[in-house]
């Protein structure tokens, strides 16, 4: 699978880990990392929290990442799970806002904002047919189950990256995703297109690096 991120990064470009290592001596080396991940991180957060909160959380995510860059595991060339993990921790202070956003969408069927990534995101969740019902169902999931499902579906992360982002075992990722799909099965008749379902042939994606 070729991601939007891959399309924006040259084959000969330094890895995220290399940029972070270089930024120890030259803080400016961190900026390409921001440019590389800002769009997908902001798009994901805006879908969950709305654009205003998303901008704040993205800014704080990169600020914390920069401050903590000396702790980064250099064995991991792709910093995306690390960044999403920081963002997820920050989002936990705004869970009520996320639920309000989803419940408002379930009533109106209108999103607050659209992004270039939206077509791919909507295709992953079959939102064209079930958007209102899906938004209501997502709002009823536990925060942990919702985080796993949406990292899988909207951030396009494989199990191991989700586990790294959330600092949980891979087995917990699988169990949360299975529980979420069972809950969604009650409200979405076309379960074959719901990420993580038994009929979803992309359910367990290859792990490791940029895909």
Judge contact between 48 and 150, C-beta under 8 A: yes
The per-residue pLDDT for range 107-157, each reduced to its tens digit, is: 665 444 444 444 444 444 444 345 677 777 888 899 899 999 999 998 999
Q: Which residues of 113-130 are buried (b: 16+ CB within 10 A; e: fewer)?
A: eebebeeebbebbbbeeb
Q: Roughly how many angstroms between the first and final C-alpha of the chain, as a whole number? A: 6
Find, among 153, 152, 150, the residue nearest to 161 by Cα: 152
Structural domain includes residue 206: no
The per-residue pLDDT for 199 is: 41
- Number of folded domains that form the chain: 1
Q: What is the mean pLDDT of residues 52-80?
A: 95
Q: Which domain holds residue 50?
A: 13-193
The per-residue pLDDT for 107 is: 67
The per-residue pLDDT for 116 is: 43
Structural domain includes residue 171: yes
Q: Determine if the pTM surpasses 0.75.
A: no
CA atoms 150, 153, 159, 162: torsion sign: negative
Structural domain includes residue 3: no
Q: Give the whole-angstrom CA distance, residue 40 versus residue 38.
A: 6
Across the chain, mean pLDDT equals: 78
């Amino acid at each position: 699978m070729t991601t939007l991120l891959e399309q924006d990064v040259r084959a000969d470009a330094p890895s995220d880990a290399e940029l972070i290592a270089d930024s120890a001596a030259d803080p400016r080396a961190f900026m390409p990392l921001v440019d590389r991940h800002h769009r997908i991180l902001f798009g994901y957060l805006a879908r969950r929290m709305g654009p205003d909160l998303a901008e704040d959380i993205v800014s704080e995510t990169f600020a914390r990442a920069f401050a903590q860059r000396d702790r980064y595991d250099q064995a991991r060339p792709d910093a995306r799970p690390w960044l999403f993990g920081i963002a997820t921790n920050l989002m936990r202070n705004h869970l009520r806002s996320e639920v309000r956003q989803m419940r408002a969408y379930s009533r109106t069927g209108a999103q607050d904002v659209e992004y270039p990534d939206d077509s791919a995101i909507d295709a992953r969740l079959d939102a064209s047919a079930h958007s209102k019902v899906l938004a209501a169902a997502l709002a009823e999931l536990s925060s942990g189950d919702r985080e796993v499902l949406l990292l899988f579906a909207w951030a396009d992360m494989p199990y191991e990256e989700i586990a790294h982002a959330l600092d949980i075992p891979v087995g917990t990722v699988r169990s949360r995703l299975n529980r979420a799909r069972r809950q969604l099965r009650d409200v979405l008749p076309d379960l074959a297109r719901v990420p993580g379902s038994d009929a979803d042939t992309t359910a367990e994606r290859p792990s490791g690096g940029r895909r």
